[in-house]
Amino acid sequence: MPRLNRIIETALYVDDIERAREFYEAKLGLEPMLKTGTLFAYDVGGASVLLLFQRGQSLKSQSSAGGSIPPHDGSGPLHICFAVDAGELDLWDEKLQQQGIAIEGRMSWERGGKSLYFRDPDGHMLELATPGLWPNY
Q: What is the pLDDT of residue 124?
A: 98
Residue 115 has pLDDT above 90, yes or no: yes
Residues 95 and 133 in one domain: yes
Specify the pTM: 0.93
User: Based on the domain organization, do 3 and 66 belong to the same domain?
Assistant: yes
Q: Give the CA distances from residue 47 to residues 94, 98, 113, in Å, rounded to whole numbers and listed in that order.
A: 25, 28, 20
Full residue range of the structural domain in which residue 86 is found: 76-137
Q: pLDDT category, 95, cuts 50, 70, 90?
A: very high
Mean pLDDT of all residues in 52-78: 92
Give the end of a domain, one of 27, 43, 74: 74
Same domain, 1 and 67: yes
Domain count, the chain: 2
Do 52 and 4 belong to one domain?
A: yes
Q: Are residues 22 and 80 in the same domain?
A: no
**Angle CA(114)–CA(119)–CA(122) in degrees, nearest 5?**
155
Looking at 26, 42, 74, the residue that finishes a domain is: 74
pLDDT one-digit tens code per residue, 122-135: 999 999 999 999 99
